[in-house]
Amino acid sequence: MQGKQVQQESLFIQFQLSDHVPTDNFYRRLKSLLDLDFLYQATLKYYGKEGQKSIDPVVFMKLMLVGYLENINSDRRIISSSGMRMDILYFLGYDLGQELPWHSTLSRTRKLFGEETFVELFKQVLKLCINNGMISGKRQAVDSALIPANAAKQSMVERIVMDDASVFSRELNDNIEHEAEEQEKSKGGDDKGSKGKKAAPTNPTHYSPSDPDARLTTKPGKPMRLYYRAQMSVDTASHVITYIQAFKGNQADNSSLPVILPLIAENLAGHAIRARRNSGRCRL
């Protein structure tokens, strides 16, 4: 006899979320290892003593982590996807049917906390990795990656010459490398028909009003767009990131390296892993 499933929701049901998330589930294991309670004290200065209650800082940071782990770059999608996953709800400390925070709350809270809170979170996670023997500290590999800015090249507007000439000079110096690359590309090109055409935006002449720190640059074989450049150090024994810092997209690696090397050493020294020099080279 052929079966046919007929959907009929139960009016009453006894359900415990923890019973339906396997013990070897990634988010369940992460929940047991990651203690973010320090965030309550670290973010206390951002809140008053009266008014409506904010989103739980631990829940906010866990949602940011979910977005990274699931490769979701939209606050709206982070909330909608989390609401459909029992393991993520369990990780967040929510139950079925319990309403998650409104997606716009994530962007407001992210701006409220700023870089300091995220750096403290990174250090706490790094400490957990070291305490669990995941980082040897013998060798660190440093490399960069271009991160697309949340701004469109088409939205860039022309700069107004600043009254402070020194500030404008620094902006120009930041973009010397990019200008040199464009001049090299233009050598030997045909200038016929270029008159009357609107000049393409460049870093010295244009900026993005929504993200002024983003810079125009390009990857090999990719169109030019606004980027940041993330410099990362990775422990080669475990592939765990031990330091990360964002720079302007057009900033070259050789100018960023002298900035981050002392910071990498300082970051690891806080966990009794010291940098030493060997044959004139800094070795971690």
Model confidence over 154-204: pLDDT tens digits? 888 877 654 454 554 555 555 555 555 555 555 555 554 445 556 677 888
Q: Quote the CA–CA distance of 195 and 216 in Å, as a whole number.
A: 24
Confidence of residue 22 (pLDDT cuts 50, 70, 90): very high
Who wins on pLDDT, 174 or 16?
A: 16
Tokens describing residue 205: 């002449």
Tens of pLDDT, residue by residue over 26-81, are 999 999 888 888 888 888 888 888 888 899 999 999 999 999 889 888 899 999 99
Mean pLDDT of 80-108: 92
Between 10-14, 162-166, 168-172, 275-279, the lowest mean confidence (pLDDT) is in: 162-166
Q: Are 137 and 235 in contact (CB under 8 A)?
A: yes
Q: How many CB atoms are closer than 10 A to CB 22?
A: 9
Tens of pLDDT, residue by residue over 27-39, are 999 998 888 888 8
Q: How many CB atoms are closer than 10 A to CB 207?
A: 23
- Burial of residue 217 (CB within 10 Å: 0-12, 13-18, 19+) is buried
Mean pLDDT of 125-144: 81
The whole-model pTM stands at 0.62
Q: How many CB atoms are closer than 10 A to CB 177?
A: 15
pLDDT value for 82: 95
User: In degrees to the nearest 10, what's the CA dihedral of 174, 176, 177, 183?
Assistant: 150
Instruction: For 138, list phi and psi in degrees, rounded to 5.
Output: -75, -40
Q: Where are the domains of the chain?
A: 17-131, 140-162+202-283
Q: Quote the CA–CA distance of 85 and 31 in Å, as a whole number.
A: 15
Mean pLDDT of 196-222: 79
Confidence of residue 279 (pLDDT cuts 50, 70, 90): very low
Give the percent of the chain with pLDDT over 90: 18
In terms of residues, how long is the chain?
A: 284
Tokens describing residue 45: 């200065």
